[in-house]
Structure 1
Amino acid sequence: MRRPQIHILRLLVAILAAVGLILLFDPLGLRIASSSALGGLGLGVGSFYPSDNRAGGWFMSSTITHIVLFKFKAGAGRERVDAISNRFLGLKEQCVTMAQQTYIRKISGGRDNSPEGLQGGLTHAFVVEFESAAERDYYVNLDPVHQAFKKDIEPFVEKVTVVDFANGAF
């Protein structure tokens, strides 16, 4: 009788270990757990940092903010600029992981309307938020939808400026 109990115990340990690895590394991009869900335990999935720093804790959010500034060419035309801008905003739903899950937390953007006059010719701004640097890196370097977007707009953009940051990391 002892023999079957040992095998059951080993099987249970193996199952728990497999589930733990899936939750920690999420190899299929399933986003089973988020860093905010496990942050209180010090187990920020994908980032290894809790994402909630409202209490002034020493952990910083792993969220990456990706700012993109465009100066469109003079001949681009208003309709084309609007189409490119709307397409940019649509990347939130179109950019997906290999498991067909969206990964961009938020995209916002629009035409510059600052009265300060410090734009240096830049006319449009977009802000893209990612849960982690790994998601941002996938978007920037590998995502086929984003790669096609960059290639398609190239003839109409004179200048692109990109700045990324992790909130609170100075």
Structure 2
Amino acid sequence: MTSETKFGTTDGTWFLLGDAVTQAAGRRGGYLARLRDAVASIYPDRRLELVAAGRAGDRVPELRDRLFAEVLPRDPAGVVVVVGVTDVWYASRGQATPIDEYRAALADIVRGCRERRVPVWLCTPMVVGERIGVANSFDEGLDRCADAVRQVAATEGAGLVDLRRRFRDELTRTNDRDRAHGLLTVDGVHPNDAGSRLIESAIREALGMDVTRGGERVLRHIVLFRWVPQVDASELASIERQFRQLAREIPGVLGFECGTDNSPEGLQQGFTHAYVVTFRDEAARDAYLPHPAHQAFVDRVKPRLAQALVVDFWGDADRKG
């Protein structure tokens, strides 16, 4: 078995081996929680478990040791090594990992998995600081470590998830104010919601998760409104027209539906109107939310709302024919 093994073709437990980022990744909104949701949706007929094997402060040599002591004895179906930034970041404590030791530990990880026929993917370290216009303090060391991960993955036959490149490309595109943090991380290191989505997307793509398995997938954006009493029928009709127009104006929107509640269960809690916006993918949704036309709509309805509730989920595309 190699890293070319297609994810989801067999049942089993996959381990995400990493540091504090992975330790917290199973929480709501974390990259592992998002991966679990994706797996449950895409592979409902498979017994696939994703396990976080994260421990705060672990450098690559500690990841290697835990792989042999804790992960491989559990007969994993696959391993993704989410290499953290600690090997470089701890230079401030005099505990940076020498690059030769770093490279050797990575090679040990891949060889240990290969000997047991366990597919393995290596992730490059992400960021310590989000600035693009000038160098962050640890950029040189992180670039050196990321190059080592790429080299080991290529020479030893492991899969590669180039998170550093993905983060830097996204920051180049979005960090026009050269902020130190707040776009993809909460503090320059630990991912926020956007960073977690980026990690989840990169790992999902690298593992080859078949998002079209069982049919094309689309992102449903569910909006429930409870209006203040002063909003009358004519204004509601005008608001609906404006909401519907967004689907025509903004790229990536595949559909729009709306309706008034008629449930007999009595569980509405005052919500009377439901709206469903269907997006091609998360990128389309993320472009829709700050779009000027959508923001103008939000500015209009916000003073008229007593309460709003929004949930998003992946669903099956409507089948034709």
Q: TM-score range by the shorter chain?
A: 0.5 to 0.7
Amino acid at match of 2:300: D
Q: Which residue number corresponds to residue 277 of structure 2?
A: 128
Q: 1:94 is matched with which residue: 239, 249, 270? A: 249
- Corresponding residue of 1:76: 231
Q: Using the TM superposition, give the Cα deviation of residue 152 of structure 1 relative to its aligned residue in structure 2, in angstroms.
A: 1.0
TM-score, normalization by structure 1: 0.59
Whether the aligned pair in 2 keeps the contact of 1:85 and 1:110 (CA below 8 Å) is no
State the 1:159 CA deviation.
Answer: 0.8
Aligned to 1:155: 303
Superposed CA deviations along residues 119-148 of structure 1, whole A, max 9, x for unmatched, are 1100100011111111111112x2110011
Provide the rounded CA distance (Å) in 2 between the counterparts of 1:92 and 1:136.
11
- Would you say how many aligned residue pairs link Structure 1 and Structure 2? 110
Provide the C-alpha distance between the structure 2 equivalents of 1:91 and 1:115, rounded to a whole number of angstroms: 31
Unmatched tracts of structure 2, length 5 or more: 1-203, 317-321
Q: How does 1:109-128 map to 2 (within 5 A)?
A: 109-128=258-277
Structure 1 residue ranges, 4+ long, deviating more than 4 angstroms after superposition: 47-51
Deviation at residue 50 of structure 1 after TM alignment: 4.7
> Any idea what the Cα deviations from partners look like across 1:142-168, whole Å, max 9, x if unmatched?
211001100011121111100011238
Q: Is the 8 A contact 2:223 2:309 kept in 1?
A: yes
2 CA distance for matches of 1:111 and 1:87?
17
Counterpart of 2:213 in structure 1: which amino acid? N
Unaligned runs of 5+ in 1: 1-46, 96-101
- Residues 258 and 276, structure 2, Cα contact 8 Å, conserved in 1: yes
CA distance in structure 1 between the aligned counterparts of 2:214 and 2:232, rounded to whole angstroms: 44
TM-score between both structures, scaled by the size of structure 2: 0.32
Corresponding residue of 2:177? none
**Shift of residue 70, structure 1, vs aligned partner:** 0.3
Query: What is the alpha-carbon distance in structure 2 between the residues aligned to residue 147 and residue 164 of structure 1?
Result: 18
Instruction: Report the Cα distance in structure 1 between the residues aligned to 2:210 and 2:275, rounded to whole angstroms.
Output: 26
SS in 1 for 2:230: helix
1:86 deviates by 2.1
Aligned counterpart, 1:167: 315
Q: Distance in 2 between matches of 1:154 and 1:108?
A: 20
Query: Aligned equivalents of 2:266 and 2:243: distance in 1?
Result: 25
Structure 1 distance, partners of 2:264, 2:242, is 27
Q: Does 1:105 align with 2:257?
A: no
Does the CA-based 8 Å contact 2:224-2:310 persist in structure 1? Answer: yes
Alignment partner of 1:53 out of 200, 213, 233: 213
54 and 89 in structure 1: CA distance in 2 versus 1, 3 angstrom threshold: same
For the Cα contact (< 8 Å) 2:225–2:272, is it kept in 1? Answer: yes
Q: Deviations over 1:19-61 (max 9, x none)?
A: xxxxxxxxxxxxxxxxxxxxxxxxxxxx946553227xxxx83
% identity of equivalent residues: 35
